Amino acid sequence: MGRAIKKLNIKINRNLTFLILFVVGVIIGSIFANYLDPSQKDELGILNNYFLDKYSSITLNHIDLLRHIVLNRIRIVLYIWFFGLTFFGIPTIVIALLYFGISFGFMLSLGTIVYGSKGILLNLVFLFPHFLIYVPLVLYLIHKSFELCATLYYKKLAATKSYRLNNKQLFTEYILVLLLCTLVIIIGALVETFVNPGIVRWMIQRI
């Protein structure tokens, strides 16, 4: 019972740390967006009038778009997964969480600056519904990567003690994590390619 409680406390503290890192990234991204001059905001922001007008009328090549999305999403998964095998796994996760936070904070703030409350709504629409798949996936991958790295190199941070698992079992489970993440990425990419553009166009026509 005591071990279970200790393991739970470790996971709760870990989740809080992940959340703090993400929030710090959001704050940094928001500050950066607010310090840009108007011309830079227009150039960097996807939420400008030119982009929105073109998006409403452009004909998408869904196969090329799907390939592009899968390759980009898989690259992120492989990056986090691979470094989880190394001594640099936990520092990599810290950098990844800050990066995700900065990207989200920058995008949200830029949309708000340009379009006000409508910008927030547009940004959320651009992320819907595929991010309902990606976010749990990334959280799952980060936890697995962190746990493997901690078990191998930072034993005090591990929720599962290394003597309970042999290396073969650890690596077999970790390969299954990659296969599962790849499958979910493909599902998310299909949703992002074939569902999201229709939702975005519908919203653009109503703002």
pLDDT tens digits for 131-182?
999 999 999 999 999 999 999 999 888 876 654 567 788 899 999 999 999 9
pLDDT tens digits for 92-139?
999 999 999 999 999 888 888 877 778 888 888 999 999 999 999 999
pLDDT tens digits for 131-144?
999 999 999 999 99
Per the prediction, the chain carries an average pLDDT of 87
Q: Considering only 46-60, 61-75, 183-197, which range has the smallest mean pLDDT?
A: 46-60
Other Cβ atoms less than 10 A from the Cβ of 165: the count is 15
Domain range summary for the chain, segments of one domain joined by +: 2-45+60-204
Q: How confident is the model at residue 4 (pLDDT cuts 50, 70, 90)?
A: low
Q: Considering only 9-18, 35-44, 179-188, which range has the smallest mean pLDDT?
A: 35-44
Measured distance CA(79)–CA(160) in Å, rounded: 23
Q: Tokens at residue 72, please?
A: 């980009």
136 — phi, psi (to 5°)? -60, -35
Long-range contacts of 135-142 (CB under 8 A, 24+ apart): 137/77, 137/181, 137/184, 137/185, 137/188, 138/76, 138/80, 138/100, 139/18, 140/177, 140/181, 141/77, 141/80, 141/81, 141/177, 141/181, 142/18, 142/80, 142/93, 142/96, 142/97
